[in-house]
Amino acid sequence: MPAAATPNPQAKRGVALLALAIGAFGIGTTEFVIMGLLPEVATDFGVRIPSAGLLISGYALGVVVGAPLLTAIGSKVSRKTVLIALMGVFIAGNLLAAIAPSYGVLMTGRIVAALSHGAFFGVGSVVAASLVPKAKQASAIALMFTGLTIANVLGVPGGTALGQHFGWRSTFWAVTALGVIGLLGIIFLVPRQDTSEGPGLRSELAVFKNLQVWLALAMTALGFAGVFASFTYIAPMMTEVAGFSAGAVTWLLVLFGGGLVVGNLLGGKAADRSLMPSLYVILAVLAAVLVAFVFTSHGQLSSAVTIALFGAAGFATVAPLQKRVMDKAQGAPALASAANIAAFNLGNAIGAYLGGLTIEHGLGYTAPNWVAAALATSGLAVALLSGLIDRRQRISTTHQSHPHHPVHAQPSARTNPDERLVSGTRPVSR
């Protein structure tokens, strides 16, 4: 009788990462799809578009608050259990949004769903990294975040079209269903960690005494502030400067989303080979692309090419930045990892605000790109500072481990030690 086939561990890890990516896809869709449904929501509840736009701000605030809070609450619970609970919160928030009888209840549903966002990506990053060897951890993190990037390519346009044809509530019902699929995937496909408990809240908080953790968070906030200072105003930039029709913006965003997917995967692979040098290059390329965008945005073909490069460079930073925080918070990475997701969202808010200031002051729709490039360059400067501190610490550790030997202990210039060993003689003791 033939022996039963042994499950392939690599395949099991692959389906576990797929389950995390499905959850990320649902979360990414619910975060951004509201942008395309603001007119429908505003009409349904009898509010102005700017008031409906606060549903985006409310979600971002929920991410910033929920990321460290829920991660801290779950610090003594197994990470798989935490992920299951977070998907439950996500489902509840979107279900509440789908049945919301008023604008206030819809806002509440958005905030509830957002509370799970940062903690899911923070804890999920740690779980994804634990599924693979250390040399492939950044790629595993990138694979989980692929769900978020694909949400921008498929989930957001699809959810927008669904909401426009069948009512905005249908989109939230669909996202709720995605949440259920993600929950089942985590329950049945993600393995439990070796330990039943995390390192504890005290250990998680202790990592914030490390300057390098704060520098990593600063890199994230500044780098993504650079992305959103430009991206937030890409629609008026394309219609008013490049001369595209309003309908063409959707396809430009799909092009941007395609860049996100490619950049995310390439950034993960580059970080596995060499983390900090990869960050230096990616942040420098991002800054250069943003400067170029000031000029290329005046032509349609050049704009389209730059948008794809912008998406690739912008999201190529994600896996390396997430891995950097986890490396510097080694031993208790979950809370720092979630804090990094909050830093991404803080950067989004800061970048959008600063980019908007340039337009308000009459500097034109391409001016946010200058601000974006400056922010990305600031992120690069912080990365270089962090790398310099790393090098100094390595040099200091090397000197402590290998103190200078006295001169008489050095081999004689006249006698090669290897020759003595070959000839069978032994060195004379002194």
**Residue 186 has what pLDDT?**
92
- Model confidence at 72, in pLDDT bands (50, 70, 90)? confident
Neighbours of 208 (CB within 10 A): 16
Nearest to 217 by CA among 230, 207, 228: 207
Residue position matching structure tokens 């490049």: 242
**Residue 276 has what pLDDT?**
94
Distance in angstroms (rounded) separating the CA atoms of residues 292 and 175: 37
Q: Mind listing the pLDDT tens digit for each residue in 257-269?
A: 889 989 998 999 9
Q: Are the C-beta atoms of residues 116 and 94 closer than 8 Å to each other?
A: no
- Model confidence at 193, in pLDDT bands (50, 70, 90)? low
**Residue 231 has what pLDDT?**
85
**Residue 335 has what pLDDT?**
83
Count how many Cα atoms sit within 13 Å of the Cα of residue 222 in the half-sphere of its side chain: 21
Q: Per residue in 236-261, is it b (16+ CB within 10 Å) or e — as a string?
A: ebbbebbebeeeebeebbbbbbbbbb
Percent of the chain at pLDDT above 70?
88
Nearest to 175 by CA among 121, 96, 64, 71: 96
Q: Mind listing the pLDDT tens digit for each residue in 352-373?
A: 888 888 888 889 899 999 999 9
User: What residue spans define the domains of the chain?
Assistant: 11-189, 199-398
- Model confidence at 395, in pLDDT bands (50, 70, 90)? confident
Estimate to the nearest angstrom the gap between the alpha carbon of 178 and the chain centroid: 20
Helical (H) or strand (E) element with 152: none
The tokens describing 308, both together, are 């794809």
Give pTM, 2 decimals: 0.75
Lowest-confidence pick of 119-123, 247-251, 259-263: 247-251
Report which of residues 49 and 139 the model is more confident about: 139
Q: Is 284 exposed, middle or buried (0-12, 13-18, 19+ CB in 10 A)?
A: middle
**Residue 402 has what pLDDT?**
60
Q: Mind listing the pLDDT tens digit for each residue in 3-16?
A: 444 456 676 778 88
412 pLDDT exceeds 90? no
Phi, then psi, of 350 in degrees rounded to 5: -65, -45
**Residue 130 has what pLDDT?**
86
Lowest-confidence pick of 212-221, 243-252, 302-311: 243-252
Nearest to 176 by CA among 86, 96, 101, 57: 96
Distance in angstroms (rounded) separating the CA atoms of residues 75 and 69: 10
Q: Are the C-beta atoms of residues 41 and 55 closer than 8 Å to each other?
A: yes
Nearest to 380 by CA among 293, 311, 308, 289: 289
177 pLDDT exceeds 90? yes
- Model confidence at 411, in pLDDT bands (50, 70, 90)? very low
Q: Mind listing the pLDDT tens digit for each residue in 87-104?
A: 999 999 999 999 999 999
Distance in angstroms (rounded) separating the CA atoms of residues 268 and 90: 27
**Residue 213 has what pLDDT?**
93
**Residue 198 has what pLDDT?**
57
**Residue 429 has what pLDDT?**
40
The hierarchical CATH code for the domain 11-189 is: 1.20.1250.20
Label residue 274 left, alpha or beta by phi (over 0 means left) and psi (-120 to 50 means alpha): beta
**Residue 410 has what pLDDT?**
47
Q: Average pLDDT of the chain?
A: 84
> DSSP of 39-69, one letter per residue?
HHHHHHHT--HHHHHHHHHHHHHHHHHHHHH
Q: Which residues make Cβ contacts (< 8 Å) with residue 281, sequence separation at least 6?
A: 270
**Residue 8 has what pLDDT?**
63
Q: Are the C-beta atoms of residues 92 and 221 closer than 8 Å to each other?
A: no
184 pLDDT exceeds 90? yes
The tokens describing 341, both together, are 């997701």
Q: Mind listing the pLDDT tens digit for each residue in 145-172?
A: 888 888 878 887 888 888 888 999 999 9
113 pLDDT exceeds 90? yes
The reply to whether 199-398 shares the fold of 11-189 is yes
Q: Mind listing the pLDDT tens digit for each residue in 16-63?
A: 888 899 999 999 898 878 877 888 888 899 988 767 878 877 888 888
The hierarchical CATH code for the domain 199-398 is: 1.20.1250.20
121 pLDDT exceeds 80? yes
Distance in angstroms (rounded) separating the CA atoms of residues 200 and 185: 26
226 pLDDT exceeds 60? yes
**Residue 212 has what pLDDT?**
93
**Residue 401 has what pLDDT?**
63
Over range 275-279, report the average pLDDT: 94
200 pLDDT exceeds 60? yes
Count how many Cα atoms sit within 13 Å of the Cα of residue 7 in the half-sphere of its side chain: 8
Phi, then psi, of 13 in degrees rounded to 5: -65, -40
Report which of residues 414 and 190 the model is more confident about: 190
Q: Are the C-beta atoms of residues 40 and 151 closer than 8 Å to each other?
A: no
Nearest to 94 by CA among 175, 32, 164: 175
| Torsion over CA: 364, 370, 375, 378 (sign) | negative
Distance in angstroms (rounded) separating the CA atoms of residues 67 and 388: 29
**Residue 6 has what pLDDT?**
47
Q: Mind listing the pLDDT tens digit for each residue in 374-391?
A: 999 999 999 999 999 998
